[in-house]
Structure 1
Amino acid sequence: MLKLYLFISLMCLVRSDTDEPCPSFTRLSFHSAVVGTGLNVKLMLYTRKNLTCAQAISPTDLGSLNVTKKTTFIVHGFRPTGSPPVWIGDLVEGLLFVEDMNVVVVDWNRGATTVIYSHAAGKSKNVAVVLKEFIDQMLANGASLDNIYMIGVSLGAHIAGFVGEMYDGQLGRITGLDPAGPLFNGRPPQDRLDPSDAQFVDVIHSDTDALGYREPLGNIDFYPNGGADQPGCPQTIFGGLQYFKCDHQRSMYLYLSSLRENCTITAYPCDSYRDYRNGKCVSCLTPQKESCPFLGYYADHWKDYLKEKDPPMTKAFFDTAEEKPFCMYHYFVDILTWNKNIRRGDITIKLRDKAGNITESKINHEPATFQKYHQVSLLARFNQDLDKVAAISLMFSTGSIIGPKYKLRILRMKLRSLAHPERPQLCRYDLVLMENVETVFQPILCPKLQM
Structure 2
Amino acid sequence: MKSTVWLSLLTLLWSASANPLVGLIDPACKVVRGECPHENVSFWLYSNSTRNNPILLDPLDLNPWDFQPPRPLKILIHGYTGYRDFAPNSFIRPVLLDNEDVYVISIDYGPLVRYPCYIQAVQNLPLVSQCLAQLINNLVDRAIVPNDQIHLIGFSLGGQVAGQTANYLKRKLKRITGLDPAKPLFILGPDSRRLDAGDAEFVDVIHSDVFGRGVLRAAGHVDFYPNFGAQQPGCMEENMQDPGSCNHERAPRFYAESINSTVGFWGRYCSGWLVHLLGLCPTTGAQAQMGYHVSQELRGSYFLKTGSSPPFALGKLEDVDNSQTLAKFHLNLDNNEIDDDYEPQLLEAFLELDAVKVIVKMDEDDLDRQLDWVDREEEEPLSRNIIK
3-state SS of paired residue (2:160) = helix
2:157 is matched with: 155
1:328 to 314, 322, 328: 314
SS in 2 for 1:216: coil
Aligned to 1:314: 300
- Which residue is 1:11 aligned to? none
Deviation (angstroms), 1:84: 4.9
Structure 2 counterpart SS, 1:234: helix
| Backbone CA RMSD of aligned residues | 2.9
Taking structure 2 as the reference length, the TM-score comes to: 0.67
Distance change >3 Å, CA 226–CA 147, structure 1 → 2: same
Paired positions, count: 287
What is the CA distance between 1:97 and its match in structure 2? 2.6
Structure 1 residues 409-448: Cα deviation after superposition (integer angstroms, max 9, x where no partner): xxxxxxxxxxxxxxxxxxxxxxxxxxxxxxxxxxxxxxxx
Q: Which residue of 28, 33, 52 corresponds with 1:35?
A: 28
Unpaired runs of 5+ residues, structure 1, are 1-32, 285-291, 307-312, 336-367, 370-451
Counterpart position of 1:294? 289
Using the alignment, how far apart are the partners of 1:195 and 1:279 within structure 2? 24
Change (3 A) 1:169 1:177: farther
Please state how far the C-alpha of 1:281 moved relative to its aligned partner. Answer: 4.3
Q: Secondary structure at the match of 2:302?
A: strand
Higher relative contact order (CA 8 A, sep 6+): 2
Task: Say which one has the larger Rg.
Answer: 1
SS at match of 2:265: coil
Secondary structure of the residue aligned to 1:172 is strand
1:334 deviates by: 7.0
1:102–1:280: structure 2 CA closer, same or farther, 3 Å change rule? same
Write the distance in 1 (CA, Å) between the matches of 2:285 and 2:235.
31
Spell out the pairing of 1:364-443 with structure 2 (5 A cutoff): none
2:236 is aligned, of 234, 237, 259, to 234
Contact 1:165 1:196 in 2 (8 A): no
Percent identity between matched residues is 29
Matched ranges for 1:153-192 at <5 A: 153-167=155-169, 170-192=172-194
For residues 159 and 87 of structure 2, what CA distance do their matches in structure 1 show?
Answer: 18
> Hey, which of these two has a bigger chunk of helix by percent?
2
Partner of 2:75: 73
| Higher deviation after alignment, 243-252 or 227-236 | 227-236
Shift of the alpha carbon at 1:146? 0.9
SS at match of 1:203: strand
2:243 corresponds to: 243
Deviation at 1:244, TM superposition (A): 3.6
**Which deviations, in whole Å up to 9, do the C-alpha atoms of 1:254-291 show, x marking residues without a partner?**
1111022334111111124665967714321xxxxxxx
1:297 to 1:226, Cα distance in 2 relative to 1, 3 A: same
**Greater strand share, 1 or 2?**
1
Matches of 1:179 and 1:137, distance apart in 2: 26
Unaligned runs of 5+ in 2: 1-25, 33-38, 326-388
Name the amino acid aligned to 1:110.
P
Within-5 A mapping of 1:130-149:
130-142=131-143, 143-149=145-151
C-alpha deviation, 1:167, in angstroms: 2.9
Partners of 1:169 and 1:234 in 2: how far apart? 43
Measured against aligned partners, the alpha-carbon deviations of 1:190-218 in whole angstroms (never above 9, x if no partner) come to: 11111010011000011111111121110
TM-score, normalised to structure 1, is 0.58
In 2: Cα distance, 1:77 partner to 1:243 partner: 18
1-structure distance, mates of 2:237, 2:208 = 14
